[in-house]
Amino acid sequence: MRPLVFALVLATGLGLLLLWAADVDWSSPWNPEQQRNWLGSDFRVVMGGATQDEERLRIGVIGDNHTALQSMALNGVDAAGNSMLRYRFEDFPNTLELSLVFRRMGDEDVNVISLPSPGNGDEWFDLGSIPEWQGRITELAFAEYPTPQVVPPEQAFKSFSLVGASLASRSWKGDLAALQTDWFGQWPWSQRSVHALGRDTDSPRARSLVLFIAIACALVLTAAMLILRMRRPALLRLAVGVSLLAWLLLDLQWQAGLYSRGAATETLYAGHSWPDRELHAADRDLAEDARALKIALRGIPEASRILVHSGSSFSVLRLVYHLLPMNVGVFAKALQLADGKAPPAGTILIACDAPGWSFNAATGVLQADSLKIPGEVLYRTDRAIAFRVGSQP
């Protein structure tokens, strides 16, 4: 009798725990009361190019800014009553990220939220957890773009299909499916991955799988102690077994993620030798610029001082790294230390993809944001300039 009670208590407890983790609304039905379904072919292409493949939308071309966007105009769908998003893609490349874009009635701005990467089946997401998901929704769209800082934009795209999507009211089924998507959906490496793991996104997350499994272990052991009256050493054996099994479950999930991320890494780099592989990283344009600059400036003395500027701190530091072994420093930092004064004559300035910087060939003056610096151009392309600072007049 006790084993039966133990099994019942365990099944009930774990079930309740799962419902808590999924944040199931007790008053909602098992299946959604209302659901609006759209086929992939119902979506309109806004960025990129696509063809209809029966009921699917086959996205075959990426748009400007390396983004594809498929949109659906809605007639003011009530956000509160349609908070569960289901989406399904096929052949979605592991080098792309997926976002949902939506527009509300009376609001010109669009809202963008990152979605878990689509696997092979239906994925669910609880939009009710997004503060902006309220009022009436007039447009819904999916945007796909290269994984930031991981994938070079030119290399990310492979054709894929949007199979369909739907908006549904809350239901137990939808909540549990959204939990499954959150727990088992794969995420790419990001700069945060050496600090803290998990999907690097501002989108709300479900309750933690680690926490769920820890509570589940505690439940099993407590039930074994109270109902089965298990004592040492049997309880100890159970504790070791349960902990090991729980650890293995978490580790299998982690291993699946490693496999998925490894596949993305292979997509990018496998089959390329080392020097080429550097040109398949996310900043291949900077690497190419740096290689060209190093060739162009190979005649300068080894100790020449070079200050580097670009559009973001990431690209400045990457450029510094790619330009090694040149004697490089960060222009913005030097400017700050020199109270905004131009660098001394003889210093070489390198700027890549730097908005606010321009060179006037007629006057021989480099406009570096608000600074006017006279000197001579050593190398110049559409994206990059190397400039030796001359004497101030």
| Measured distance CA(49)–CA(87) in Å, rounded | 20
Which value, to the nearest 10 degrees, does the dihedral of the CA atoms of residues 321, 322, 324, 330 take? -50
CB closer to another protein, 52 vs 191 = 191
Give the pairing of strands 44-47 and 56-61: unpaired
Q: Of these, 18, 39, 45, 214, which contacts another protein (CB under 8 A)?
A: 214
Sheet with strand 96-104: strands edge to edge? 44-47, 68-78, 136-146, 96-104, 110-115
Length of the chain, please? 393
* In the complex, minimum distance from the CB of residue 218 to another protein, in angstroms, rounded to a whole number: 8
CB closer to another protein, 138 vs 203 = 203
With beta carbons less than 8 A apart as the criterion, state whether 126 and 169 touch: no
Under the criterion CB under 8 A, does residue 277 sit at the interface with another protein? yes
Q: Of these, 222, 346, 356, 376, which contacts another protein (CB under 8 A)?
A: 346
- Interface region with another protein, contact rule CB under 8 A, candidates 8-16, 27-35, 312-320, 354-362: 312-320
Under the criterion CB under 8 A, does residue 362 sit at the interface with another protein? no
The phi and psi torsions of 133 (rounded to 5 degrees) equal: -80, 85
Phi-psi region of 229 (alpha: psi -120 to 50; beta: other; left: phi over 0): left
Q: Kindly state the number of chain residues that form the binding site for another protein, as judged by CB under 8 A.
A: 65
Q: Of these, 91, 251, 340, 363, which contacts another protein (CB under 8 A)?
A: 251
* Listed residue (55, 39, 57) closest to 47, CA to CA: 57
Under the criterion CB under 8 A, does residue 191 sit at the interface with another protein? yes
Under the criterion CB under 8 A, does residue 202 sit at the interface with another protein? no
Q: Of these, 4, 196, 295, 362, which contacts another protein (CB under 8 A)?
A: 196
Q: Of these, 10, 18, 246, 371, which contacts another protein (CB under 8 A)?
A: 246
Q: Of these, 29, 76, 254, 363, which contacts another protein (CB under 8 A)?
A: 254
Under the criterion CB under 8 A, does residue 311 sit at the interface with another protein? no
* In the complex, minimum distance from the CB of residue 312 to another protein, in angstroms, rounded to a whole number: 12
Show the binding pattern over residues 129-168: x = contacts another protein (CB under 8 A), - = does not.
---------------------x------------------
With beta carbons less than 8 A apart as the criterion, state whether 319 and 350 touch: yes
Under the criterion CB under 8 A, does residue 391 sit at the interface with another protein? no
Under the criterion CB under 8 A, does residue 197 sit at the interface with another protein? yes
Distance of CA 237 to the CA centre of its chain: 42
* In the complex, minimum distance from the CB of residue 83 to another protein, in angstroms, rounded to a whole number: 24
The phi and psi torsions of 150 (rounded to 5 degrees) equal: -120, -40
Residue type, 291: R
- How many CB atoms within 10 Å of residue 359? 18
CB closer to another protein, 194 vs 362 = 194
DSSP E strands in the chain: the ranges are 35-39, 44-47, 49-53, 56-61, 68-78, 84-90, 96-104, 110-115, 123-126, 136-146, 160-168, 305-310, 327-330, 348-352, 357-360, 365-368, 371-380, 384-389
CB closer to another protein, 172 vs 269 = 269
SS3 269: helix
Under the criterion CB under 8 A, does residue 259 sit at the interface with another protein? yes
Q: What is the DSSP string of 60-80?
A: EE--GGG-EEEEEEEEEEETT
- Which residues of the shown chain bind another protein in the complex (CB under 8 A)? 150, 189, 191-198, 208-211, 213-214, 217, 232-233, 236-237, 240, 243-244, 246-248, 250-251, 253-255, 258-259, 261-262, 265-266, 268-270, 274, 277-278, 281, 302-303, 305, 314, 317-318, 320-321, 324-325, 327, 329-330, 333-334, 337-338, 344, 346-347
